[in-house]
Homo-oligomer: A and B are copies of this chain.
Amino acid sequence: MARYLTMAAAQLGPISRGDSKASVVQRLIALIRQAHERAVEFVVFPEMALTTFFPRWYIDDRDAVDAYFDSTMPSPETLPLFEEAARRRVGFYLGYCERAEEGNRIRRFNSSVLVDRDGKLLGKYRKVHVPGASENDPTLPLQHLEKLYFEDGNLGFPVFKTASATIGMAICNDRRWPETYRTMALKGAEVVVLGYNSPAQMPDWPDQNALRAFHHLVCMQSAAYQNGLWIVASAKAGREDGFDLLGHSCIIAPSGEVVALSSTLADELVPYRCDIDLAPYYKSFHDFERNRRPDQYEGLLAARGNQRSRADAEACRRYWDGGEPA
């Protein structure tokens, strides 16, 4: 007997710098209602779904940046979303900026939560592959300062067994790294959900501009096939505060085929009724236990110990301590 789970990417159009979190939550609630009407059981919102993608700017005003972060989830502003989703029996993934007190200091992560159909928090994930730079470069028309504002995630890639499927989370740039999917598949993930805010153009890597959607899709298609995964990927899309974000929210089957794709750059629900049992079918084809050869994968886990990555961590700490940028 096949297991079906109707999932949807709940793509968002742009969020302006001036938009309040409360106003964004109203848009998320509208998508939850639409999901309910279309018999969707689980929706995937984008990365940093409550705010503009502020890492595109160097912002000297720490208080203004700090206001993008939330210390609790649900937060006061998102509580109506949690309540409405539970009322409509729609589970969800939500990306947000996390402020956490750990080891006597405040830490900030690019995080996501997984919430079940009863509104119960199943788990949290912190973005492992934080991209971009930590150095303010005012000469660039578009910066990508995630490494300045966020620490590297430190929770690994947890997976959560739910009644309908075993689900793992990723965020944006994580999807370009094959280790992301493999780590979760080895723990039994059947579904990977992820949100993203991907610039449609990159001024410092112009050769790739025409290939942005292709790169986005090809990484996930290959990973879905190689790991026996359903992948639901949800964009913040469109022209946000003057900068274009990629759309192409999609659902990818364990065959690697894109079975649903957004067609706008605005708020849009992209639903699909997923036969979860396709995941074990592809896993049995690859049969990790019989066929993987970890003893031959030399260097895969060699520590990076890289000077630049240490400098990034240092720059992030200095920024939040109120110091000058590098």
Stretch at the interface among A44-52, A74-82, A214-222, A318-326: A214-222
Cβ distance A310 to chain B, nearest Cβ, rounded Å: 10
In contact, A256 and B290 (Cβ under 8 angstroms): no
Closest residue on chain B to residue A311 by CB atoms = B290
Bound Cα distance from A178 to B178, whole angstroms = 7
Residues of chain B within 8 A of A281, CB atoms compared: 207
In contact, A299 and B205 (Cβ under 8 angstroms): no
- The answer to whether A182 has its CB under 8 Å from any CB of chain B is yes
- The answer to whether A84 has its CB under 8 Å from any CB of chain B is no
Residues of chain B within 8 A of A3, CB atoms compared: none
- The answer to whether A72 has its CB under 8 Å from any CB of chain B is no
Stretch at the interface among A11-19, A102-110, A300-308: A300-308
Partner of A218 from B187, B225, B303, B306 at Cβ < 8 Å: B225
Bound Cα distance from A291 to B308, whole angstroms = 9
- The answer to whether A255 has its CB under 8 Å from any CB of chain B is yes
In contact, A285 and B208 (Cβ under 8 angstroms): yes
Stretch at the interface among A62-70, A90-98, A151-159: A151-159
A142-193 residues at the B interface, CB under 8 angstroms: 152-154, 156-157, 176-179, 182-183, 186-187
Interface centre among A205, A288, A294 (most CB of B within 10 A): A294
Interface centre among A186, A281, A287, A291 (most CB of B within 10 A): A291
- The answer to whether A56 has its CB under 8 Å from any CB of chain B is no
Count of A interface residues, CB-CB < 8 Å: 57
A184-239 residues at the B interface, CB under 8 angstroms: 186-187, 205, 207-208, 211, 214-215, 218-219, 221-223, 225-226
Bound Cα distance from A128 to B219, whole angstroms = 23
Bound Cα distance from A223 to B179, whole angstroms = 12
In contact, B131 and A291 (Cβ under 8 angstroms): yes
In contact, B214 and A300 (Cβ under 8 angstroms): no
Cβ distance A166 to chain B, nearest Cβ, rounded Å: 14
In contact, B301 and A301 (Cβ under 8 angstroms): yes
Cβ distance A326 to chain B, nearest Cβ, rounded Å: 14
Bound Cα distance from A183 to B222, whole angstroms = 17
- The answer to whether A71 has its CB under 8 Å from any CB of chain B is no
Q: Chain A 114-140 against B: per-residue CB contact (8 Å), 1 yes, 0 no?
A: 000000000000001101000000000
Residues of chain B within 8 A of A179, CB atoms compared: 178, 182, 292-293, 297, 300
Bound Cα distance from A179 to B186, whole angstroms = 13
- The answer to whether A286 has its CB under 8 Å from any CB of chain B is yes
Could you list 7 examples of A-B contacts with CB < 8 Å? A157-B296, A176-B226, A179-B292, A182-B300, A211-B256, A289-B309, A297-B301
| Given A183-B300, A287-B308, A291-B309, 14 extra CB contacts under 8 A | A128-B293, A129-B293, A154-B296, A156-B296, A176-B226, A176-B286, A178-B182, A179-B297, A183-B299, A187-B298, A219-B226, A222-B223, A290-B306, A294-B304
Closest 6 CB pairs between A and B? A222-B222, A178-B178, A289-B306, A294-B301, A290-B308, A186-B299
